[in-house]
Amino acid sequence: MTALLFSLSIILFFSLAKGLHTPKSCDETERGSTLQVFHVNSPCSPFRSKTPLSWQDTVLQMQSNDKARLQYLSSLVAGRSIAPIASGRVVTQNPTYIVRAKIGTPAQTLLVAVDTSNDAAWFPCNGCVGCSSTTFDSAKSSTFKPLPCGSPQCNQVPNPNCGGTTCGFNLTYGSSSVAATLVKDNITLAADSIPNYTFGCVGKATGGSTPAQGLLGLGRGPLSLLSQTGSLYQSTFSYCLPSYKSVGFTGSLRLGPNSQPKRIKTTQLLKNPRRSSFYYVNLMAIRVGKRVVSIPPSAFAFDPNTGAGTVFDSGTVFSSLVKPAYTAVRDEFRRRMGKATFSSLGGFDTCYSVPITVPTITFMFSGMNVTLPQDNFIIRSSAGTTSCLAMAAAPEGNVNSVLNVIASFQQQNHRILIDVPNSKLGVARESCS
């Protein structure tokens, strides 16, 4: 997806990186509770795109994935979809970040997508029709167990299919569908072995775009990894996402309360009972340079009934703000660019093809101001000829315009700490690319 952007950047990047860093290996031994995080287009990823796109097409592709993702998130906040174990989005969309999960005894390694707005966990299983990638062979695991229809977990999957003795379920999303059974087995993450982990074992995938890999949801709803590992991880984790441009560098996912940063700015984590997997925060204002732009408070107001408010999400690439908020930020940004002529590129409406000096952008959350480095809000073509403000207005539509999403481009090279017991979300700069 970002292949050309990525390959064009290699040249520049290598010349900068040489002598500064040694690229980490793709299969470092993971110790303790810390996992390596790869961008899906990194050389360590088996899912990287094999057909390079132009820079423009790359950006358009990311935007188009975002549009589907935002519509999906909006349908969730609006309560239109109930999918605690597995959700439709993974059927039709590429993941952005992947981690290594080892399943069964002896452990079989799979690279799976991570998604902070999902509770889902499913892996493609042996004999799966339509799953293209490496699968989990349950017959080779001594700890594998299908869950019976009567099990309490079976009540939480969408469309349970209890024709047989095991708990089966089907998912549909657009023209794609997945048939899976609910099972349990050990999952090993870094050095932690978690017995009896409940997940979906995918046996068949049909439709336009079939899922290439499994999914490990890091949401906090029922049946999520956090809910299933109560005492081990105590609903606490942090991650640092590597830049989509970096080559051979990895970020990290640290599970559990140990070795989390102690000195980190935090804001209150809000809970929406109607959409329990999401990490809502209270975004109050946005500053462009020194000026707090004028945005009606309603643009940011948290409302559990409509799902309105602001979430941190790792599965969307570019942050999306409800229209009045985006327009105010963009207009102030343009004003600061003076007479420079702007153009648009797909969903970005503020692009410059001349060298520009940009103001800072600060997200002001309750109790925490986060001033973004340029690399977190300006996307530049590899040749450096085009620079765009890398945010967009929420897609228009009845249910799509209430949610602000702080997305992965804005989170790259920051450590994001999720501390559910203390209702805190922390942000600190960290160079993990």
Ligand X SMILES: *[C@@H]1O[C@H](CO)[C@@H](O)[C@H](O)[C@H]1NC(C)=O
Question: Using CB under 6 A, which of 63, 64, 133, 369 touches ligand X?
Answer: 369
Residue 38 φ/ψ, nearest 5 degrees: -110, 145
Active-site choice (66, 115, 119, 419): 115
Based on the shown chain and the rule CB under 6 A, indicate whether residue 69 belongs to the binding site for ligand X: no
Which residue number, 188 or 350, has a Cβ lying nearer to ligand X? 188
Based on the shown chain and the rule CB under 6 A, indicate whether residue 101 belongs to the binding site for ligand X: no
Q: Which of 390, 396, 382, 393 is nearest to 411 (CA)?
A: 390
Which residue number, 202 or 403, has a Cβ lying nearer to ligand X? 202
Which residue number, 2 or 229, has a Cβ lying nearer to ligand X? 229
Distance of closest approach, residue 133 Cβ to ligand X, in angstroms: 19
115 catalytic? Reply is: yes
Based on the shown chain and the rule CB under 6 A, indicate whether residue 193 belongs to the binding site for ligand X: yes
Based on the shown chain and the rule CB under 6 A, indicate whether residue 358 belongs to the binding site for ligand X: no
Relative to beta strand 424-429, strand 309-312 is: unpaired
Based on the shown chain and the rule CB under 6 A, indicate whether residue 195 belongs to the binding site for ligand X: yes
Based on the shown chain and the rule CB under 6 A, indicate whether residue 107 belongs to the binding site for ligand X: yes
Q: Which of residues 201-240 bind ligand X (CB under 6 A)?
A: 204
Question: Using CB under 6 A, which of 63, 81, 170, 327 touches ligand X?
Answer: 170
Question: Using CB under 6 A, which of 85, 98, 101, 179 touches ligand X?
Answer: 179
Q: Which of 399, 431, 395, 400 is nearest to 413 (CA)?
A: 431
Based on the shown chain and the rule CB under 6 A, indicate whether residue 287 belongs to the binding site for ligand X: yes
Residue 333 φ/ψ, nearest 5 degrees: -60, -50
SS3 content of the chain, % helix, strand, coil (to 5): 20, 35, 45
Based on the shown chain and the rule CB under 6 A, indicate whether residue 151 belongs to the binding site for ligand X: no
- On the 0-12 / 13-18 / 19+ scale of CB atoms within 10 A, 344 is exposed
Relative to beta strand 424-429, strand 348-352 is: unpaired
Question: Using CB under 6 A, which of 58, 176, 186, 433 touches ligand X?
Answer: 186
Longest Cα separation, the chain: 69
Give the interface segment with ligand X, choosing from 61-69, 150-158, 361-369, 414-422 (CB under 6 A). Answer: 361-369
Distance of closest approach, residue 229 Cβ to ligand X, in angstroms: 12
Active-site choice (66, 119, 185, 313): 313
d(CA 279, CA 229): 18
d(CA 28, CA 36): 8
Question: Using CB under 6 A, which of 190, 364, 391, 420 touches ligand X?
Answer: 364
57 catalytic? Reply is: no
Distance of CA 62 to the CA centre of its chain: 13
Contact between 103 and 187 (Cβ < 8 Å): yes
Based on the shown chain and the rule CB under 6 A, indicate whether residue 424 belongs to the binding site for ligand X: no
Contact between 201 and 125 (Cβ < 8 Å): yes
Q: Please report how the helices 3-17 and 55-77 are oriented relative to each other, as an axis angle in degrees rounded to 10.
A: 110
Which residue number, 70 or 283, has a Cβ lying nearer to ligand X? 283
Distance of closest approach, residue 287 Cβ to ligand X, in angstroms: 5
3-class state of residue 377 by DSSP: coil
Based on the shown chain and the rule CB under 6 A, indicate whether residue 367 belongs to the binding site for ligand X: yes
Question: Using CB under 6 A, which of 93, 118, 166, 188 touches ligand X?
Answer: 188
Determine how many CB atoms are found less than 10 A away from the CB of residue 323.
13
Q: Which residues contact ligand X (rule: CB under 6 A)? A: 105-107, 143, 145, 161, 170, 179, 186, 188, 193, 195-196, 204, 287, 292, 364, 367-369
> What positions carry a catalytic annotation?
115, 313
